[in-house]
Amino acid sequence: MKFKGSKKATPKTITKEILSTSVSPGTVDKIIKALSGLESNIDSLNENLADMKKQLNQKAQKEIDQLREQVIQMATKEAETIISDAREKAKSESQRILTAGDMNLKDVQNKIDTKFNEAVDHVVSTVLKA
């Protein structure tokens, strides 16, 4: 820091310069009031910022909840569709198996009837020969 009339400032010179400078009490009060007002404004802004953060978090949570509900509904519909398709396939497969089983039962029944008649004829002819 350079002062008038000196090329290099010494600490003694700076101290004398500061002490000799007079600041009016009104100016100090104005500066303190301005700083106090600034501090109040900063506090107010901090409070507003905190409120805005809370509101943003609440909105984000609501949106998350809504999206979660939509995903659950979509998944439920998809699951119902898959289950319905599987049920229809199972019904058609069971009907095919039932039809095949009925055909096999008829074949077995016909074979039994045929063999039974042959067996009865054989027993009757054996008894009559005896």
Distance between CA atoms of 129 and 125, rounded to whole angstroms? 6
pTM, 2 dp? 0.50
Residues 6+ apart with CB under 8 A from 13: 3, 6
Distance between CA atoms of 40 and 90, rounded to whole angstroms? 74
Distance between CA atoms of 83 and 75, rounded to whole angstroms? 12
pLDDT in tens, 30-76: 899 999 999 999 999 999 999 999 999 999 999 999 999 999 999 99
- Provide the percentage of residues in the chain whose pLDDT is more than 90: 58
Our CA angle for 106, 110, 116, nearest 5°, is: 140
Dihedral of CA 118/124/127/128: which sign? negative
- Provide the percentage of residues in the chain whose pLDDT is more than 70: 82
